[in-house]
Amino acid sequence: MQNILHQKSQGKLVSGYLFSCPDKVTLNEVLTLGAKIILCNENSLDNCPTCQKIECGSHPDVCVYPKGDAFNTQDSQDVIDDANKKPILSNYKLILIKNLNNSSEQSQNKLLKILESPPKNTIFLVSTTNINKVLATVRSRLLKVDITPFDSESLCEMFSEYKNKEDFSLALDYTNGYVGDMEHILTDENFIANYNLAKDIVTKLKSSAEIVNFINPKNTKSQFNGIITLMQSMYGDLMLLKAGKKELVKNKSILSDLSQIQDEFSMKALTNIIKRINEVNKKQYSNVTLSLLFESLLTSILEVKYLCR
């Protein structure tokens, strides 16, 4: 955002920006902030009438797309129409397009027409969680901006109302530095239970007789997905420990537990375990019984662990 501030101060704003990062919530925050930076003349970015209008979605010079779940050809046509209208209150007309990766090639090609010949004083702020799903021709018309993760201090400030929650420090450890990850962990009632179960499986599962202790037939698909995602992260941390990259470990709150068991796994075993988890992750969306699928996964983990010693 410092680059946009600098470009604005120099009168060198470009006609379009493409913001990229894997977290939709972070991207939405960035688009809103970008709009404030460009349109705000008081540099308050919160307290002025312009910023307040942007925040509540009532600024007449800020058009947000898509109107539905995904950006489609009708949205492309509406963007063209809006882009050609002169700004009412500000120096610029802003077109905010969220999650362009979730759109068809046809709708992107139609959008390309206005990007190739943008009207004067119209700026496009576009976001994507997957840069590879944005057409190369579209990317070439926009200035790409990679969004880096927030540091712990920034996240603490943004989520100060949650500081007294028992899982706050865990959330800071586990999050990738993105607002969406932090928000999900702090508002998910099952996260702590899922985390503890995943930790116990990774650090304590030693024999097939113990598998029954970790199976809960009442787990929902969301809980199941949460557990295996956490397991995958922890096995990934074991790989980092074995490779001597302790500083990159994600699950810092259980670092001592992981360190104690790292010698139980070979690098080959960990690679194959993560591969098995990926396979199970795909199978969960087919017509299968989750508890049986989970039991099969745990059995497979034990087999791989001992076969690859």
Model pLDDT, residue 212:
92
Where does a domain end: 148, 176, 201? 148
Kindly report whether the global pTM for this prediction surpasses the value 0.75. Answer: no
Q: What pLDDT does residue 44 have?
A: 62
16 and 130 share one domain: yes
Do residue 212 and residue 298 come from a single domain?
yes
Q: Residue 59 domain-assigned?
A: yes
Looking at the structure, tell me whether residues 137 and 216 fall in a common domain: no
Give per-10-residue mean pLDDT for the chain (309 aa).
Answer: 80 93 89 91 75 91 94 96 94 95 94 94 95 95 88 85 79 80 83 91 93 88 88 94 91 90 93 92 78 92 87
Residues 132 and 246 in one domain: no
Looking at the fold, whether 15 and 95 belong to one and the same domain comes out as yes
End position of a domain, from candidates 94, 120, 148:
148
Domain boundary pick from 123, 148, 173: 148
Q: Does the residue 24 lie in any domain? A: yes
The answer to whether 79 and 97 have CB atoms below 8 angstroms apart is yes
Domain range spanning residue 280?
Answer: 188-307
**CATH number of the domain within which 267 lies:** 1.20.272
Would residue 172 count as lying in a domain?
A: no
State pLDDT tens for residues 62-104: 999 999 989 999 999 999 999 999 999 999 999 999 999 999 9
- 197 and 110 in a single domain? The answer is no
Structure-block tokens of residue 287: 């017509």
Q: Is the alpha carbon torsion for 177, 182, 185, 188 positive or negative? A: negative
Looking at the structure, do residues 242 and 134 belong to the same domain, yes or no? no
Is 262 a domain residue? yes
DSSP string, the chain: -HHHHHHHHTT---SEEEEE-S-HHHHHHHHHHHHHHHH-SSS-SSSSHHHHHHHHT--TTEEEE-SSSSB-HHHHHHHHHHHTSPPSSSS-EEEEE--TTSB-HHHHHHHHHHHHSPPTTEEEEEEES-GGGS-HHHHTTSEEEEPPPPPHHHHHHHTGGGTTSTTHHHHHHHS-S-HHHHHHHHH-TTHHHHHHHHHHHHHH--SGGGGGGG--TT--HHHHHHHHHHHHHHHHHHHHHHTT-GGG-S-GGGHHHHHHHGGGS-HHHHHHHHHHHHHHHHHTTSS--HHHHHHHHHHHHHHHHHHT-
Question: In this predicted model, what pLDDT tens digit does every residue of 105-126 receive, in sequence order?
Answer: 999 999 999 999 999 999 999 9
Say if residue 193 is in the same domain as residue 143. no
Q: In terms of domains, do 66 and 141 share one?
A: yes
Query: Tokens 């997905």 — which residue?
Result: 225
> Same domain, yes or no, for 25 and 137?
yes
Residue 178 domain flag: no
Count: domains in the chain? 2
Is residue 170 included in any domain, yes or no? no
Same domain for 102 and 30: yes
In a domain, 179, yes or no: no
Q: Are residues 128 and 32 in the same domain?
A: yes
pLDDT at 180 (0 to 100): 84
